[in-house]
Amino acid sequence: VLDAGTGINSMRWLTGARTAAITAVTGSSSMAQNVRDAVAPVLRPVDRILLGDWADPDLLASERFDTVLADYLLGAIEGFAPYFQDQLFARLRPHVGGRLYVVGLEPYVNVEQTTANGRLIAEIGRLRDACLLLAGHRPYREYPLDWVLRSLRAAGYAVEEVRRFPIRWRARFVNGQMDMCLKRLPLLTNRDLAESLAGEVEALRHRALAMVEAEGGIAYGEDYVVVARPEPIR
């Protein structure tokens, strides 16, 4: 199995499943270390955690895997290989012996919102992205399911199955996103702006946590899973 965009969640799941060998790829050395720490006791000598970039044509050259997992990889590409998203599925194709599983998140930041829940989740995403941009970092960019299906077909895959999973956002998400903002603020040169953004962050955290508490989570949006198989090249 190839975990093409690895992280603690996908590796915890994969190391608990029945596999012959796992290769995990990340573009981030700190992610590689975190994953290693999280699964160290169950890692076998055949399992590998590799630091690499899918934009590098030599990464895992000539290696094929029964199963390739792209678990929230597409949305993260912007941070590592911006503008490479349209190439991702073609780049992975030679490595897919059996099935490619694409797990993704419907975009919620640059989307017109029609419900109170949607507006609040989008507000969290926009404030987070504003902090990241002002700190000189690149925010994630999620892609919708129809883009993924188009892109998979154009890259020579047959789509076998699609499932959607409604999301209920909880306190961990709210705190995670707001803490991500706070961590970037020391990088801003305009200290007045940083201070004012810190106030915004805490006010939004407070509002969002109150809604999570009142409604047992904020129901909005969906994740998707697509199962695809490479079609023979004619």
Task: Give residues in contact with ligand SAM (CB under 6 A).
Answer: 5-10, 25-28, 31, 52-55, 71-73, 76-77, 80-81
Q: Smaller CB distance to ligand SAM: residue 125 or 197?
A: 125
Q: Are the CB atoms for 90 and 68 separated by under 8 Å?
A: no
In whole angstroms, how close is the CB of 163 to ligand SAM at the nearest point? 17
Q: Smaller CB distance to ligand SAM: residue 131 or 194?
A: 131
Q: Smaller CB distance to ligand SAM: residue 27 or 197?
A: 27
> Can you tell me whether residue 206 is helix, strand or coil?
helix
In whole angstroms, how close is the CB of 55 to ligand SAM at the nearest point? 6
Residue 22 contacts by C-beta under 8 Å, 6 or more apart in sequence?
A: 1, 2, 3, 11, 14, 15, 46, 47, 48
Using CB atoms within 10 Å of the CB of residue 170, give its burial: 0 to 12 exposed, 13 to 18 middle, 19+ buried: middle
In whole angstroms, how close is the CB of 180 to ligand SAM at the nearest point? 12
Alpha carbons 53 and 77: distance in angstroms, whole number? 9
Q: Smaller CB distance to ligand SAM: residue 72 or 147?
A: 72
Q: Which amino acid is at 159?
A: V
In whole angstroms, how close is the CB of 192 to ligand SAM at the nearest point? 33
Determine the residue with CB nearest ligand SAM. 7
Alpha carbons 165 and 118: distance in angstroms, whole number? 16
